[in-house]
Chains A and B, each alone.
Chain A
């Protein structure tokens, strides 16, 4: 009998390939459900889920919320800016107070790496990491790999390059773990200031020349340049970054092959990717968003289903 091995989804690192494939198979079912006239199933109708966001988010929060509604779960939303956190309450106190109101599952985004692991050691509910600082963003990696599988048939043996700010990106780290577990080859590409030292020890290739990386890959995942971090000067100017690492039509056409373009959003059009590329037929950016709902439904279904507590 197939079984999800974890009680929480804290990161991709803790999962095995069977877990990931189980999420994908379950997500296939949910994808067909969200494409039919009645997009809702009653699976989680007695489950209460708290979405706790200590950091801003549009896509991830809406995607989780929609996934929960499609599963008929009850939800409470919480964002740090409008809460008692600003009055100095600790993380555990905040969460325990929410749990005292009988919540079964917590979806949390937090600026501190490891916040979800810490929480999982102290509370009883299932925890889903929706991004913890620069550490992991497991559901994004799952939906990225699911989208590659959908577009190319399989992830195994594919060559994927992740371009951009690798140092600060939780998407990059989760993607590396996820793709490797599924048997893909991974390369990271960006200015050397944005590539962490010793990242080769994870088994990824490192390349600082975008054209070489594109010539090698089947799939290019273009990460967002985090404009809010510009004052730190990891590279001289946005214009220079865009000239060296921006993906435009000209570069894509010079490749003599078709590659799949991905982006976790939000896009800085004209910086890491130009509009004509982002909206081209090579791009699966909007498929990623659609798949996000199905994949998150699958994760919550699998985690809730194993409790056996009722």
Chain B
């Protein structure tokens, strides 16, 4: 089976817009709301969401951070893969904030579990929500669901969902790459 494009061009932009409007619907003035992108791949989405949100609402300083979960992962020393940390940019306390975690693909849920651990080291948020561009159905290892979903896809466990961004020097596109098990 060949690779399959599931999101691109105008549809891609529309999806981002819809996610922004859903956030606005829930949060309005964004007082006490913090957008937190997940390193390394979620930050492209979170940066895009932040700038589009500010464009739509005219707000200037929506609280924003980027979280790295390398030190909180539950597979440290268990896999053969080396865990290399990325930069972490959180310069505010999460206490009493409504935190919106932002990542590109929700798969097993383990990254989000680690992120929940990491967040508590920055304070006690009043609420944590999850926004993802792609939600892979039937693939969760943990009871974790997203609050805002760009697109839900049904994939086989050994497929790879690849999200690319203009910021990479490519175009905005989401594809499913079948990888032989």
List the A side residues contacting B88 at CB < 8 Å: 29, 32-33
> Does B60 lie at the interface of the complex (its beta carbon under 8 Å from any beta carbon of A)?
no
Cβ-defined contact, A29 with B121, below 8 A: no
Cβ-defined contact, A38 with B121, below 8 A: yes
List the B side residues contacting A22 at CB < 8 Å: 84
- Give CA–CA (A1, B79) in the complex, Å: 14
> Does B103 lie at the interface of the complex (its beta carbon under 8 Å from any beta carbon of A)?
no
Cβ-defined contact, B77 with A29, below 8 A: no
List the A side residues contacting B72 at CB < 8 Å: 41-43
Cβ-defined contact, B82 with A43, below 8 A: no
| Segment 39-91 of B: residues with Cβ below 8 Å from A | 68, 70-72, 76-88
- Give CA–CA (A36, B72) in the complex, Å: 16
Q: How many residues of A contact B (CB 8 A)?
A: 30
> Does B117 lie at the interface of the complex (its beta carbon under 8 Å from any beta carbon of A)?
yes
Cβ-defined contact, A309 with B121, below 8 A: no
List the A side residues contacting B117 at CB < 8 Å: 42
Nearest Cβ distance between residue A305 and chain B, in whole angstroms?
6
In the complex, the chain A residue whose C-beta lies closest to that of B118 is: A41
> Does B165 lie at the interface of the complex (its beta carbon under 8 Å from any beta carbon of A)?
no
> Does A306 lie at the interface of the complex (its beta carbon under 8 Å from any beta carbon of B)?
yes
Q: How large is the interface on B (under 10, 10 to 19, 20 to 34, 35 or more residues)?
A: 20 to 34
> Does B122 lie at the interface of the complex (its beta carbon under 8 Å from any beta carbon of A)?
yes
Given that A41-B72, A46-B77, A309-B77 are contacting pairs, would A36 and B85 also be in contact in the complex, using a CB cutoff of 8 Å?
Answer: no
List the B side residues contacting A2 at CB < 8 Å: 82, 84
Nearest Cβ distance between residue B111 and chain A, in whole angstroms?
15
- Give CA–CA (A44, B86) in the complex, Å: 18
Nearest Cβ distance between residue A250 and chain B, in whole angstroms?
42
| Segment 1-50 of A: residues with Cβ below 8 Å from B | 1-4, 22, 25-26, 28-29, 32-33, 36-38, 40-44, 46-47
- Give CA–CA (A310, B107) in the complex, Å: 23
> Does A178 lie at the interface of the complex (its beta carbon under 8 Å from any beta carbon of B)?
no
> Does A56 lie at the interface of the complex (its beta carbon under 8 Å from any beta carbon of B)?
no
Q: How many A-B residue pairs have CB under 8 A?
A: 61
> Does A304 lie at the interface of the complex (its beta carbon under 8 Å from any beta carbon of B)?
yes
List the B side residues contacting A1 at CB < 8 Å: 81-82, 84
Mark B111-150 against chain A: 1 for CB-CB distance below 8 A, else 0: 0000001000111000000000000000000000000000
Residue of A2, A4, A306 with most partner-chain B CB within 10 A: A306
> Does A88 lie at the interface of the complex (its beta carbon under 8 Å from any beta carbon of B)?
no
Cβ-defined contact, A26 with B85, below 8 A: yes
In the complex, the chain A residue whose C-beta lies closest to that of B80 is: A308
Cβ-defined contact, A305 with B68, below 8 A: no
In the complex, the chain B residue whose C-beta lies closest to that of A2 is: B84
In the complex, the chain B residue whose C-beta lies closest to that of A38 is: B121
Name the contact of B77 in the complex, choosing from A4, A36, A307 (C-beta under 8 A).
Answer: A307
Given that A29-B70, A42-B71 are contacting pairs, would A305 and B122 also be in contact in the complex, using a CB cutoff of 8 Å?
Answer: no
- Give CA–CA (A166, B88) in the complex, Å: 39
- Give CA–CA (A306, B83) in the complex, Å: 9
Name the contact of A40 in the complex, choosing from B78, B84, B121 (C-beta under 8 A).
Answer: B121
List the A side residues contacting B83 at CB < 8 Å: 305
List the A side residues contacting B121 at CB < 8 Å: 36, 38, 40-41
| Segment 271-310 of A: residues with Cβ below 8 Å from B | 301, 304-310
Nearest Cβ distance between residue B87 and chain A, in whole angstroms?
7
- Give CA–CA (A29, B78) in the complex, Å: 22
Nearest Cβ distance between residue B108 and chain A, in whole angstroms?
18
List the A side residues contacting B86 at CB < 8 Å: 29
List the B side residues contacting A40 at CB < 8 Å: 121
- Give CA–CA (A95, B44) in the complex, Å: 49
In the complex, the chain B residue whose C-beta lies closest to that of A40 is: B121
- Give CA–CA (A160, B76) in the complex, Å: 38
- Give CA–CA (A2, B83) in the complex, Å: 9
Measured CB to CB, the residues of A under 8 A from B are 1-4, 22, 25-26, 28-29, 32-33, 36-38, 40-44, 46-47, 71, 301, 304-310
* A to B CB contacts below 8 Å, 23 in the list: A2-B84, A25-B84, A26-B84, A26-B85, A29-B68, A29-B71, A29-B85, A29-B87, A36-B121, A36-B122, A38-B121, A41-B71, A42-B71, A42-B72, A43-B70, A44-B76, A46-B77, A47-B77, A304-B77, A305-B82, A308-B78, A308-B79, A309-B77
